[in-house]
Structure formats: structure tokens, C-alpha cells
Structure 1
């Protein structure tokens, strides 16, 4: 195999039908300084010719959506550092897209093997982690000795011709609830505007302001810089979809999506604080129902509306298994964590079976 190298920048665009897997999103994060020293996501990509396995050195576990804080606490009890660690993921992005920028499964297998060898040689790293894997990726990585862990998300699949047909598939109570939520938004005087591609340039300052409103409400940290939103329409143009809610001639809320032929990904939501309690149904309209409408109009089969949220279940999103893979360097600590993962995996499987009983669809 030709020479492999560690690179800290992704520059080339790789052909892919997934907007998260052609390099643009990684470039966007780097050029906007959303990853780097300041945010604790240090780019550490493994490159072979034009194929890249993205990676990051991390000194914390923020922005990952697969939670290992308890493992870090476990290490701390023995006064063993858990950080830095190596992760392969799309930063701040809990989507189920391939985490490699390659053209070939064979090349991916080789990159995984070489990454594992490199991690084993880099003794200051406590472990190597892959987040939000496809089934095929998980099998390849598991063969290297990583432990597969399961967690849960809620996805919606387009199985109907239009929104009305979707409603007719629901039990009466849930159908009534959704119709009532949508009607409340219509009756409120709110107008929802749609922006695509280059049309989004003019509204990005407002989108960033509304993004920050969500960060402030959650008392969280704004990993995504203002430059990220300024560059987003230019670098992700044909994949970018934004809905803006206008009320009394003021833009009060936004929802931002990335789309492809195979899936629509709900990414960011924000509303001015003074309107959140006044329009409680607006979140469901902007983040779920507008996305469903878009999938119907554009024949997109899958809608991933983001992490967590059992309220999605009542609105037709089905619980699905999410896969990640983990390897820790110290066998004496890795073994009990593997036992914990086995227990969690069984709990996730049982919970999904239980959650499916509460889906809103008719029998």
C-alpha cells in the first residue's frame, strides 16, 4: 500500500451522494474554526491518496451525542487519564452517514486497520472511537477488536404519497393531535418561508442569531462559529434548506436542514425566547411537519430529525438502533466497560421493542 499520512486539513472534494461524505462539511468546520484548538476538536485525519478517514483528538466528550462521560469518571477513580482520545465522527452532527471519505470498502478496511495500528503506537491516547456507524462499517471495525455499542434515535420513513395519507395511517388521537398542532400555527398568523441554496445567503445573520437563542436556552456552548453560518450557503449550497417563521413582519424562528436524494437531515432550530411559550406548536411544525412535507414533495425516503426526543415517537418517528464502536488501550479497564456495553445493548434492544408499542400507527 502507498504511503499513508496524517493530515490536519481536508481540502479535496470526493464524489459522494451524501453531503456529509464528500469533504465539504469537514472543510466548512475547519475554515470557520468550529474545529481546532479553541473547541477541543483537533483534526487528525488519516489519508491515502484521495481517500480520507476523518479523525479528531479530543480532550473532552462534548458535541459527540454518544455519551462516555461515565467511562471518563471510571478512569478518574483510578487516577488514569481518559483524555486525549481519538474519535472518528462528524463533529457536532448526530447523523447516520458513512464516517469515511473513500470510494471503496476495501480502502476503508485498510484505513481502519492502519488507524488502529497508529493509535496503538500513540501511547498517550486512551482509546479509539467511531460514532454513528453504518452496519457495514460496524462489521469492519468490530473485526479490529472494537466493541459495538447501541443507542437509540427516531427516524421517519416516507411510506405514503402525501401528508394526508400519512395522517390517515395514524390512530385517531394522534391524528387529531397533529392536525390541531398544524392548525394552531396556521391560525396564529405565522408565515413560513422556504429558502434554498444561494437564497439562504441573505438570512444567515438571522439564522445565527436564532441558533444562539437555542444555545442560551440550554445553557450550552456555541461550537459553531458565526463564520460557519456565513460560509454554509456557499459550501453546501444545493444541499441547504432553511425554513423561517415570520410573525408580525419579524423573523422569529428557523429550522435548518441538509438534504440529499436518500435522506433529509434536521440539524438546527431556534426561536426568539419571547415567542417560545406563545407558540409551543411551532417547533413541531418547523422541525417535523415541514420536513415531512418536503420529503413528500421531493420523494426523499428517510427523514432524520436529530438526536433524542421521545416526543418524535408520537408523531410517527420510529425508534432505531444507532451503532458506535469503541476500543480502550488498558485491558483491565476495557473489560468492565465492555460488560457495561453488553448490558446497555440489551437494554436498548428491549427499550426499542417497548417503544414500538407506543407508535401512533393503526394496527
Structure 2
């Protein structure tokens, strides 16, 4: 089956693309992905070349994979650098590869986008042939949902990989104190003390939606975001233009909390809302303030979720420091198709052993949650 390839989302109408995207998935909407492209945050220069694959039945778009040709493995959050290093030692080309994912955003959700009443199996079946024709070493589909897991599990040659993140669940809490009451006494006191330490520094918080921020405020948001990379001597993935474009195209999905000391903003956290979930994405601070990171990135988001009836707060990948603040371990999945037989065999063996470790880690983490034991 021939696949149609888009080298830019500007080649397809937003309504046609969005017709395949569930309403509760802001990261896959045309506005989000096109803002990445149009702001030059993506492109051949960055090692992220858009290569979206489409399947039509007649004139009707029935399935799509938002994908990218990659020349490195940065910004993915499913780490295959070891696989690439092994290939280099063996004289095997690992790059370029094909990645289906949301760039720089380790959020789980649909990856195979399918029109109502259709299925995407034909598109998936065509991928191995596409890789061979294009000279791509492999295909990787990161942070999948249950539908993609079921579909890929039926396709030959795909390897499943597990990961673990920490998400906070709103169990019908009336307010933050109600949440604290569900914790052990020691953890409850610790969180209350952390919040008091921030308040004692004269810091207050203001939540804004996308349409409420001025360009000057977006300048501040970007300065904070870029600073988190500068302190590690790295370049930020996103350009300043991305934030303005996203605010123009998807203002209803944006939530920014500003931390202010008096009238002076000192820190921010940038999130998106989709369905019943809050997704914390970027944070930054332009000063040194005790415990401000925990308050801005975690407690403020939990407060916001409770006040607005949101059921889940995904504050990003990694971070065992989330665990002791009530974020529960959640298993994530990715899928990998490797054309080289020897590489596939070696990776399959590695993933089997890694899977045991990931499941044990998640179980051990669950036992360390701060909630009171009945």
C-alpha cells in the first residue's frame, strides 16, 4: 500500500488532520505540531525532520502517524543511545531512523491516528517496506495508548518496551487539605512545611490561560524555560516563536502559573490541559528560592487540578522526588521495529531483562507512596 508522506503539516488542512485526533489530546493537534515546525524548533537542522505518514481510501484520510526522521536520539525520553553505540561499534548504520512521537514531550496517548469506523492496520503493515525503501534502520513509536498497543502487538517483528513515570490522581479531593489528610502524618507535615517555606519568602501565584498572557509575559516564560537548559550548558529545544504561535493557535489549552515576589515574576510553570488531565511541561526560575520548584511544578498543579475537577496531573518524565509527594508509578510503553536481524535479537534479549526490572521498580515505588495505610 503506498503511503503519502508530509514533510510539513502546512501541506494538510488543520480540520482534516484534527478529524483524526481525539479532543482530549492537545499534543497531537495540528496547532501544536505545526507550531513546532513553523517556529523552527523542528527541521533538518535540529535532527528532527517531519515525515508524517498518511493512508487514504480514495479521497478520505483514514489513518496517520505523526512521525520524524531522526539523526540522533535526543528529546525522545525513551533512551536507545546504547543501541546506537552498539551499532556504531559493529559498523551498522543506526541513523537515520523513523520516530513516531510528540517531540520533546514524554506524554502517553494515541500515536496511530485513525478515522471513525476505520482501522490503521494497513498503515502499520506498510511500515517495514517503507523503512527498506527509504533506507531507514528502524521505526520507533513512543508512549503509546492501549489501542496502539493492541494494534502493534498483532504486527510481526515489533518489540515492546516498558518505562515508568509518576502521575498524580485526583481522588475526588475537596481541596488541598483534603489531599493532605490522606497522607501519613510525617509526609503531611513535610508538604505543609514546604508550602509554608515558599509563602514565607513572600511568593504568590497567578494562573493564566493562553489568551491572557502578553508578549512581554511570554518573553519571561521563555527566559525561564531557556534558563533550565543554560544552567546545564545546553541549548533549549524550543524557540521563542513556538510559544507565541501556540498561544495564537491553541490558547484554550494553555495554562501558565507565574510565581511572583511582590509584583516581580521570578518563576513559571507551563502546562497544557486536555480532557480530564493537566500536563505540566516546562518550568524555570530566574533566581534562587528555597522549595520553589516543588511548589510551582507540583503543588500548584495539584491545587489547580482539584479546583477545576481534573482527574490526572502528569508532571513530566522521571523524578522519584514526585513519589514522596503522592505521584503514583504508571507503566508506559513504546514499540520498536529493527531491520537488522542481529540487532533485533540483541535488543529483544535486553528488553526482556529490562521489563522484569521496570515492573519490580514500579512495585517497589508503589510501596513507598506517602498515603495512609488503612
> 1:293 Cα shift?
1.1
Distance 1:106 1:342, change over 3 A: farther
Pairing 1:19–2:33 present: no
Residues of 2 paired with 1:99 and 1:34: CA distance?
Answer: 21
Taking structure 1 as the reference length, the TM-score comes to 0.94
Partner of 1:263: 277
- Distance in 2 (CA, whole Å) between partners of 1:248 and 1:163 is 24
Q: Distance in 1 between matches of 2:32 and 2:125?
A: 25
Q: 1:33 to 1:105 in 2, by over 3 A?
A: farther
Within 5 Å, which residues of 2 pair with 1:206-355? 206-272=220-286, 275-276=287-288, 279-355=289-365
Q: What's the TM-score once normalised by structure 2's chain length?
A: 0.92
Conserved 8 A contact 1:194-1:243: yes
3-state DSSP of counterpart to 1:320: strand
Report the CA distance shift for 1:44/1:105 in structure 2 as closer, same or farther (over 3 A).
Answer: farther
**1:142 equivalenced with 2:135 (yes/no):** no
Is the 2:28–2:102 contact (alpha carbons within 8 Å) kept by the matching residues of 1? Answer: no
SS at match of 2:260: strand
- How many corresponding residue pairs? 357
Tell me, which stretches of 5 or more residues in structure 2 are unaligned? none
C-alpha displacement of 1:232: 1.9
1:29-48 Cα shifts (integer Å, max 9, x gaps): 11111110121100111123
Once the two structures are TM-superposed, the CA of residue 101 in structure 1 deviates from its matched residue by 3.6
The Cα of 1:230 is off from its aligned counterpart by 1.8
Matched-pair contact (CA < 8 Å) for 2:101–2:143: yes
1:88 aligned partner: 100
- Aligned equivalent of 1:46: 53
Q: Distance in 2 between matches of 1:30 and 1:185?
A: 38
Within-5 A mapping of 1:180-199: 180-199=193-212
After TM superposition, give the deviation of residue 216 of structure 1 in Å: 0.8
Indicate if the aligned counterparts of 1:97 and 1:134 stay in contact, CA closer than 8 A: yes
SS at 2:353's partner residue? helix
CA distance in 2, matches of 1:360, 1:226: 39
Give 1:97 deviation, angstroms: 1.9
Shift of 1:246: 1.3
Secondary structure in 1 matching 2:162: strand
CA distance in 2, matches of 1:193, 1:217: 25
| Cα distance, 1:23 vs structure 2 | 1.9
1:24 and 1:114 mapped to 2: Cα distance? Answer: 27
Q: Answer whether contact 2:323 2:369 (CA < 8 A) is retained.
A: yes
CA displacement at 1:102 relative to structure 2: 3.0
Aligned to 2:84: 72
Calculate the aligned-residue CA RMSD, in Å: 1.5
Q: What's the CA shift string for 1:4-60, capped at 9, x where partnerless?
A: 411112242314312123322111111111110121100111123434211110000
Could you tell me whether the CA contact under 8 Å between 1:193 and 1:245 is conserved in 2?
yes
2:7 maps to 8
Match among 172, 180, 184 for residue 171 of structure 1: 184
Q: CA contact under 8 A between 1:201 and 1:233: conserved in structure 2?
A: no
For 2:177 and 2:121, the matched residues in 1 are separated by 45
Task: Give the distance between the partners of 2:364 and 2:197, measured in 1 at CA.
Answer: 31
Q: 1:52 to 1:77 in 2, by over 3 A?
A: same
Q: Secondary structure at the match of 1:210?
A: helix
Per-residue deviation at 1:120?
Answer: 3.3
Pick from 136, 142, 156 the counterpart of residue 125 of structure 1. 136
Matches within 5 A, 1:56-67: 56-67=68-79
